[in-house]
Chains A and B, each alone.
Chain A
Amino acid sequence: EVQLVQSGAEVKKPGESLKISCKGSGYSFAKYWIGWVRQMPGKGLEWMGIIYPGDSDTRYSPSFQGQVTISADKSISTAYLQWSSLKASDTAVYYCASGVIITTSFDYWGQGTLVTVSS
């Protein structure tokens, strides 16, 4: 069974750093693109970026380029999303998602990680 399991909720202060994770299982993690999607409170889905774990080829939405870093460790089937200096506006639920059966869409999603940034 394909699963994407994300790390737990985080509460951080502005200016702090953070790295959240998404662990894949039940499929060849390195062979499928895995992306990150932001959902701010009460708002829609925003595509942030995507990585191919096999060679770490990474693409970013222009809106998120330079704001976050996406990485992956194929040896432990885990993708990451990190911030070097959080802002209150980073408060959101972050989803990882992958296209495994349908390789050009996201047919598998993580459960989401709530990140709260507040002083």
Chain B
Amino acid sequence: EIVMTQSPTTLSVSPGERATLSCRASQSVNSNLAWYQQKPGQAPRLLIYGASIRATGIPARFSGSGSGTEFTLTISSLQSEDSAVYYCQRYNNWPLLTFGGGTKVEIK
């Protein structure tokens, strides 16, 4: 079974600064990777699919990159409302899925 590992566990970033989150797959998932944002008390929200395609309504400051086993979610200029936990999810063997452990983004 493919394992998804996210790092760091927690990231503290000042408003306006760049946040870089990492997701690593134990085997290649090609570009079959999604990113979700979850704020406290809310359901997750799809940010990115296909490793780099923003979902509808997602601000341009969110971008995804990578393929194979290494992926990155970048928030180019962190806003206060971006404080959340971010999860990657592989779907290379749809409909079988795996989430990563999550990265908590805090506002410094």
CB neighbors of B among A68-119 (8 A): 95, 97, 101-102, 104-107, 109-112
CB neighbors of A among B64-103 (8 A): 85, 87, 89, 91, 94-102
Which chain B positions have C-beta within 8 A of A105? 34, 46, 49, 55, 89, 91
Which chain A positions have C-beta within 8 A of B49? 102, 104-105, 107
Which chain A positions have C-beta within 8 A of B101? 44
A107 and B49 alpha carbons, distance in the complex (Å): 10
Whether, in the assembled complex, B38 has its beta carbon less than 8 Å from a beta carbon of chain A, the answer is yes
A35 and B55 alpha carbons, distance in the complex (Å): 19
User: What is the predominant secondary structure among interface residues of chain B facing chain A?
Assistant: strand
User: What is the predominant secondary structure among interface residues of chain A facing chain B?
Assistant: loop
Whether, in the assembled complex, A41 has its beta carbon less than 8 Å from a beta carbon of chain B, the answer is no
Given A45-B38, A104-B32, A107-B46, A50:B99 Cβ within 8 A = no
Chain A residues within 8 Å of B, Cβ to Cβ: 33, 35, 37, 44-47, 50, 52, 59, 61-62, 95, 97, 101-102, 104-107, 109-112
Chain B residues within 8 Å of A, Cβ to Cβ: 1, 32, 34, 36, 38, 43-46, 49, 55-56, 85, 87, 89, 91, 94-102
